Amino acid sequence: MRGEKRTHVGTACAAHWLGRKQQTLRSWACLEDGPIRPIRINGRLAWPVDAIRRLMGVEGIQ
């Protein structure tokens, strides 16, 4: 995650960083009940890196 330049990442990458299964993140998106919300780009989920950092408690770390 350190040095990440992208503003959004795919579900597999976000799940890896958060230590969750991909299906958990898909469930959060579908039910809109998770701690972070993705955007959809051409039908695919894109998870905001800044929200992932906040959730992990590493906001200021690049």
**Is the pLDDT at 61 greater than 60, yes or no?**
no
Please report, as a single letter, which amino acid is at residue 38: P
Please tell me the pTM assigned to this model.
Answer: 0.87
Domain ranges of the chain: 8-56
- Per the CB < 8 A criterion, the answer to whether 13 and 5 are in contact is no
26, 31, 32, 37 alpha-carbon torsion, rounded to 10°: 0
Cα angle: 45, vertex 60, 55; to 5 degrees: 45
How do residues 6-54 score in pLDDT, each as one tens digit?
Answer: 999 999 999 999 999 999 999 999 999 999 999 999 999 999 999 999 9
**Is the pLDDT at 2 greater than 90, yes or no?**
no
